[in-house]
Structure 1
Amino acid sequence: MRTGIRVIGLLVALAPAVGVSQPVPVHEWEVPWKNARPRDPIADRQGRVWFVGQAGNFVARLDPATGQFHRFAIDADAFPHTVNLDARGNAWFTGNRNGSVYRIDAASGKITRFAVPDSSVRDPHTIAVAPNGDLWFTAQFGNAVTRLNAATGQMRVVKMPEANWRPYGIAMDSKGRPWFDLFGTNRIGTIDPATMQLKTFPLPSDRARPRRIAVTTDDMVWYVDYVRGYIGRLDPRSGAVKEWQNPGGAASLPYAMTVDDQDRLWFVETGLKPNRLVGFDPKAEKFFGMTNIGGGDQPNTVRHMTFDKATGVIWFGTDLGTIGRAAVGSRNKPIS
Structure 2
Amino acid sequence: MLTKSFLLALAAAVLCSIQPARGQTPPNLPDGPGKEAVVSYCSGCHGLPRVVASGYPQAYWHTAVRMMLNFGVPIPPDQINLVTDYLAKNFPENPKPVANIIPGPARIDIKEWQVPIPGSRPHDPLATRDGAIWYTGQMTNRLGRVDPKSGQVKEYPLKTPLTAPHGLVEDKNGNIWFTGNNAAIVGKLDPKTGAVAEYKMADPNAKDPHSLAFDQSGILWFTLQQSNMIGRLDPATGEIKLMTAPTPRSRPYGIMVNSKGVPFVALFGTNKIARIDPRTMEIREYALPDAKARPRRLALTGDDVVWYSDFARGYLGRLDPATGQVTEWQSPGGPRSEPLRHRRFEGRRLVQRIR
Pair in the same fold by TM > 0.5: yes
Indicate yes or no: 2:126 matched with 1:45: no
Indicate yes or no: 2:105 matched with 1:105: no
Describe how 1:1-336 pairs up with structure 2 within 5 A: 20-21=103-104, 22-74=106-158, 75-260=160-345, 262-271=346-355
Give the distance between the partners of 2:338 and 2:135, measured in 1 at CA.
23
1:287 equivalent in structure 2: none
Question: What's the offset of the Cα at 1:107?
Answer: 4.0
Give the partner amino acid of 2:276: I
Give the partner amino acid of 1:48: A
Question: What's the offset of the Cα at 1:105?
Answer: 2.3
Give the partner amino acid of 1:155: I
Question: What's the offset of the Cα at 1:137?
Answer: 0.7
Question: What's the offset of the Cα at 1:30?
Answer: 2.0
Give the distance between the partners of 1:162 and 1:225, measured in 2 at CA.
18
Cα offsets for 1:200-247 (capped at 9, x unmatched): 100000010001111011100000101110000000000000000000
Greater CA radius of gyration, 1 or 2?
2
Q: Which has the higher contact order (CA 8 A, sep 6+)?
A: 1
SS in 1 for 2:112: strand
SS in 2 for 1:27: coil
Question: What's the offset of the Cα at 1:55?
Answer: 2.1
Give the partner amino acid of 1:264: R
Structure with higher strand content? 1
Report if aligned partners of 1:248, 1:269 keep a CA contact under 8 Å in 2.
Answer: no
SS in 2 for 1:251: coil
SS in 1 for 2:212: strand
Report if aligned partners of 1:229, 1:246 keep a CA contact under 8 Å in 2.
Answer: yes
Give the distance between the partners of 2:129 and 2:297, measured in 1 at CA.
25
Aligned-CA RMSD value = 1.5
SS in 2 for 1:30: coil
Report if aligned partners of 1:213, 1:257 keep a CA contact under 8 Å in 2.
Answer: yes
Give the partner amino acid of 1:49: I
Q: Calculate percent identity across the aligned residue pairs.
A: 42
Question: What's the offset of the Cα at 1:129?
Answer: 1.4
Give the distance between the partners of 2:166 and 2:178, measured in 1 at CA.
7
Question: What's the offset of the Cα at 1:162?
Answer: 2.9
- Name structure 2 gaps, 5 residues minimum: 1-100
Cα offsets for 1:231-286 (capped at 9, x unmatched): 000000000000000000101000122222x2322111223xxxxxxxxxxxxxxx
SS in 2 for 1:52: strand
Report if aligned partners of 2:166, 2:210 keep a CA contact under 8 Å in 1.
Answer: yes
Report if aligned partners of 1:168, 1:182 keep a CA contact under 8 Å in 2.
Answer: yes
Q: How many positions carry a matched residue from both structures?
A: 253
Question: What's the offset of the Cα at 1:23?
Answer: 3.5
Give the distance between the partners of 1:270 and 1:108, measured in 2 at CA.
35
Runs of 4+ in 1 over 6 A off after TM superposition: none
2:74 equivalent in structure 1: none
Give the distance between the partners of 2:139 and 2:255, measured in 1 at CA.
21
Report if aligned partners of 1:189, 1:198 keep a CA contact under 8 Å in 2.
Answer: yes
SS in 2 for 1:249: coil
- TM-score, with structure 2 as normaliser: 0.69
1:256 to 1:55, Cα distance in 2 relative to 1, 3 A: farther
Give the distance between the partners of 2:103 and 2:315, measured in 1 at CA.
17
Structure with higher helix content? 2
Cα offsets for 1:123-171 (capped at 9, x unmatched): 1001111111111111110111101011111011011123210000111
